[in-house]
Amino acid sequence: MIKMHVRKDDQVFVLTGKDTGKTGKVLDVDKDNSRVLVEGVNIVTKHKKPRGRNQQGGIIKQEAFISASNVMLVCSKCKRPSKTGRKIMENGEKVRICKGCGEIIDTIRQART
């Protein structure tokens, strides 16, 4: 599993690709492939076949995953895209920090092994 600089529900800025300059909320994170699903970014067209009696088919537009390296976290304090860092506080708590303004973004949840 790869450590990611963004998480679900983070606000991110798209750096490259067809949606350069857009911002959106992270809907899902795929840590194994290092990809993120961002709201309103990388819209693709899917042709869906109806399955069953109640489901309707047709052409559906939906978001697709993009590489996590193509997005940058938007700091909630300084409202700008910025790099993130990790820091261990005096009480042993791990936090994410904004490298631009130095403010604490949030705490890092411990993964269970």
CATH number at residue 12: 2.30.30.30
Residues 87 and 65 placed together within one structural domain of the fold: no
What is the average pLDDT value for the chain, to the nearest integer? 88
Average pLDDT over residues 3-10: 87
pLDDT for position 111: 52
Same domain, 54 and 97: no
3-state secondary structure of 85: strand
pLDDT digits (tens, 9 = 90+) for 11-46: 999 999 999 999 999 999 999 999 999 999 999 999
Residues 35 and 87 grouped into a single domain? no
Query: What percent of the chain is modeled with pLDDT above 90?
Result: 50
pLDDT band at 108 (very low <50, low <70, confident <90, very high): confident
Cα separation, 49 vs 86, in Å, equals 45
Q: In terms of domains, do 12 and 57 share one? A: yes
User: 12: closest CA among 27, 26, 2?
Assistant: 26
Range of the domain at 102: 83-113
Quick check: pTM over 0.95?
Answer: no
Verify that 27 and 49 share a domain, yes or no: yes
DSSP string, 20-81: TT-EEEEEEEETTTTEEEETTSSEEEEEE---TTT---EEEEEE--EEGGGEEEBPTTT-SB
